[in-house]
Amino acid sequence: MSIQKTLSIIKPDAVRKNIIGQILSKFESNGLKVAAMKMKHLTQAEAEGFYAEHKERGFFGDLVRFMISGPVVVLVLAGNDAILKNRELMGATDPKKAEPGTIRREFAESIDENAVHGSDSSQSAEREIAFFFNAAELVN
């Protein structure tokens, strides 16, 4: 086990549902610490740049439209094996396939609006943290 940092986004559907706190509670009660956090309304260019790896996929336009449909919370989570731990807490991309107790199973209904994003590798965590935060904004 090693201490890692990972990027999480509480997506517009979850912010609209007023469940930011319930999602933060899942992270905090499972050993992840908030190391940086801010609210933001992503621009189209930011959403396209953030999800650039998916730009050839059929769902890209819908994904970008959804991600700019309202404010999000972007946060850095730190802890033992934070990248995998966060992905486990999130559950599968499609909430219908997510395990009981996961964030997506409890708080999301569809693959298009699935409550949270999480970095999927150490390389993506590094890129995604730098996409939203500079070093001085990370507190631990």
- Rounded to 5°, angle at Cα 125 from 114 and 78: 90
CA dist list (Å): 48 to 65, 120, 126 = 10, 18, 18
Cβ 55 to ligand ATP shortest distance, Å: 11
Q: Among residue numbers 26 through 55, which ones bind ligand ATP (CB under 6 A)?
A: 54
Compute how many residues bind ligand ATP; rule: CB under 6 A.
Answer: 10
Beta strands in the chain (DSSP E): 3-10, 33-40, 72-80, 116-118
Cβ 136 to ligand ATP shortest distance, Å: 26
CB of 79 closer than 8 Å to CB of 3:
yes
Q: Which does 118 bind (CB under 5 to 8 A by kind): ligand ATP, Mg ion, none?
A: ligand ATP
Of 26 and 117, which has the nearer Cβ to Mg ion?
117
Where do we find the tokens 């802890």? 79
Q: Which of 114, 117, 128, 133 is catalytic?
A: 117
Q: Among residue numbers 66 through 125, which ones bind ligand ATP (CB under 6 A)?
A: 93, 111-112, 114, 117-118, 120
Is residue 137 at the binding interface for ligand ATP, with CB under 6 A as the rule?
no
Contacts with 1 (C-beta within 8 Å, 6 or more apart), sequence order? 80, 81
Q: Cβ-count burial of 84 within 10 angstroms (0-12 exposed, 13-18 middle, 19+ buried)? A: middle
Of 54 and 65, which has the nearer Cβ to ligand ATP?
54
Does 117 qualify as catalytic in the annotation?
yes
Catalytic residue set = 117
| Chain contacts with ligand ATP (rule: CB under 6 A) | 54, 59, 63, 93, 111-112, 114, 117-118, 120
